[in-house]
Structure 1
Amino acid sequence: MAKPRIFISSTFFDLRQIRADLDRFIKEMGYESVRHETGNIPYGKDEGLEEYCYREVSVIDMLVAIIGGRFGSNSQHGDYSVTQMEIKTALENGKQVYVFVDKNVYSEHQTYLLNKENETIRYRFTDNIQIFKFIEEIEKLPQNNTIHQFETAQDIVLYLREQWAGLFQRFLKEETRVTEVNLIKGLENTAKTLDQLVTYITEEKKGNESVIKEILLSNHPAIERMKKILGVKYKVIFSNVQELNTWLDARGFKIEDYTEILDIYLWRNRRHTLKKDYIIKVHKSLFDEFGKLKVVTEDSWDPSLIQDEIIPLEEPNPTISDDLPF
């Protein structure tokens, strides 16, 4: 099983005990510790030793940097030490970097910031002001530049334990959203496909809008409304008043003649056995001057354009005869 590989970067002799304590902690967490003194870095013969360190840093998952009061070995890359170049390499490769600075060194760093121009000042806890310059360089980075002070290895362990627990919790939270993200991506792909399909049909059928109109009519909200009123489950399509009337007539609804002078069409289905009149009213604005169904989208649909109503039939009053039975 793959394990997170964590590179420990620091000067060696002055911080070797802290390096050993961190190595133990990292292994207890089930991760892989990478240290040059334990042979974790494969050195070759074609380049300087430090280059192989930088190459290893570029393939690890995290880097824990410990900055003490010793500058360490000079790097072949400018005024930096090898340790500083390891940190820079990790940052340049987008690795997660945790920087820990000795509390006394960081306190003295504040003094340095106030006395940069004074080259005669001597510092007690550092052997090279390049350490202060490097800390300042890290602090000016726009991201991935958190610096934490420490006095003992336990300070570093406690901080890392909290940080890694937080990363794991965030991972679990993001995992629960994978299904939602996949669903959203699926909807985006579907919408894109439909958009391309509409564009294709429009281009292919340019000058012949009947195909597009037929597609829109097949999903007309008026048809869905009529199916709901009548409790119809099968597919129904009507494109004009005549076809609608034919369909309703087959289901026992008769159009009222007087509606010609109104703004609605009215169909009535009189059920004597149930003593009820079933009425459907359809607004004429749904149709054009030739009686053809207008194209209406779901967004612009007004449910009041089609209404249904049930009216109880009145019982006839019995007639009273004046004739006496004798």
Structure 2
Amino acid sequence: MILSKRFLYVLLTAVTAVIVGYPHTAWSQAPTVTQGVQQMNIFQALVLGFIQGATEFLPISSTAHLKVIPVILGWGDPGVAFTAIIQLGSIVAVIWYFWGDLTGIVKGAMGEDLEERNFNRRLGLGIILGTLPIVFFGLLIKKFIPDFDNSPIRSIGAIAIASIVMSLLLGLAEILGKRQRDFNKLTMTDGILMGLAQSMALVPGVSRSGSTLTAGLFMGLKRETAARFSFLLGIPAITLAGLVELKDVLGNITSGEILPLVVGVVSAGIFSYIAIAGLLRFLKTQSNWVFVWYRLAFGTAILSAIAAGMLKNS
């Protein structure tokens, strides 16, 4: 329990320590935009990869932190494309961590035991069907909001409001959730419902992990089960998002942008693996209230900074 609390504390405060210790002149080098990807140095890519990895699987929104923290540091918004590409590091981490679960689902779906086969087929189909909503709404956004990078929905103020709203919903789920069903009680319907919740993460600040974990608690899942299924459900969604953006960027990327992207992906992969292991260990014995209060404080602090003129709502 002590280890889990220390892990969470370090994970959520390490960026602050880096900010304080790094020379101010380096932070002020705001990158320029090329094809939706910010041109940045290796250190910036390393830090952004850390932020992505540390927050992707915690219910606090990686998109929000990747948008807000670089802006505060004077780097500017790294852009949707860069954010999606470094998520590939996160997907490698989650596949690596859950390789046994994934192979178990495939083997179990073709096994001889009828009950096990039916369960794994329902689970696999639930993951597939649960991926469809975020793909559908994601395609709608690309079609009808082509300039999504500069959309008001990605403004810092909107992210703060989303963070506060989701903190309240997660808190309500903690209060009302029965937390009775474990992993072997999952159904195909769980996949569909959590998939609908996952599509809410297209709104920056909502958090894919946060929305699915909240939905899982409302559906009566145990905390660790909800988180574990959330990670498995996220594999197709995160992979598709990363590959689509990678395809769009590869033809226009310059040689100077390749190394920072690689560094960002590797950094995101390493810290994603640590975050997955830490969160699952944490939720075995702890509640989600630390994330509820963190999100509430995060959103409130941003709105206060905007109101005080310390932060531009861009």
More helix by share: 2
Does TM, scored on the shorter chain, surpass 0.5?
no
TM-score normalised by the chain length of structure 2: 0.21
More strand by share: 1
